[in-house]
Amino acid sequence: MDTRKEALELSEELKKFLLECGTNIDEYYRRFRELRLLEDDLSFQAALLHVEHAFFMLVHSLNLLKEQLQLLEVASKKKEVF
C-alpha cells in the first residue's frame, strides 16, 4: 500500500498546527520571561528560568519535527527512504 499521499496530507495539516502552536508557545514564553524579570526572589527567578529552558527545549523539538516533515516530503518525491 502506498501511503505517500496520506502522509503528505497529514504532514501539511501538522505544519499548519505547528505554526499556530508555535505562536501560542511564544506568547506563553514571553509572559514567563516577563515574570522572571520582574521577580525579586532569586530562588523563584531560578524556577522561572527553568520553565524558560523547558520552552527552549520544546521549541527545539518542534523544529526537529518540522525538519523531519520536510525530509518526509523530499523522500516521497524521490521515492526514497532515509
The total number of structural domains that make up the chain: 1
| This prediction's pTM | 0.80
Is position 31 within any domain? yes
| Residue 38 maps to a domain | yes
- Give every CB contact of residue 82 below 8 A, 6+ residues apart in sequence: 71, 75
Domain that holds residue 27: 4-75
Within-domain flag for 9:
yes
Residues 6+ apart with CB under 8 A from 59: 22, 25, 29
Residue at 71 is within a domain = yes
Distance CA 80, CA 37 (A): 49
Please indicate, yes or no, if residue 80 is contained in any of the structural domains.
no
Does some domain include residue 81?
no
Q: Is residue 18 part of a domain?
A: yes
Q: Give domain status of residue 54, yes or no.
A: yes
Write out pLDDT tens, residues 42-67.
999 999 999 999 999 999 999 999 99
Contact yes or no for 17/4 (Cβ under 8 A):
no
* Number of Cβ within a 10 Å radius of residue 57: 9
The predicted-structure confidence for 62-80, as pLDDT tens digits, reads as follows 999 999 999 999 988 876 5
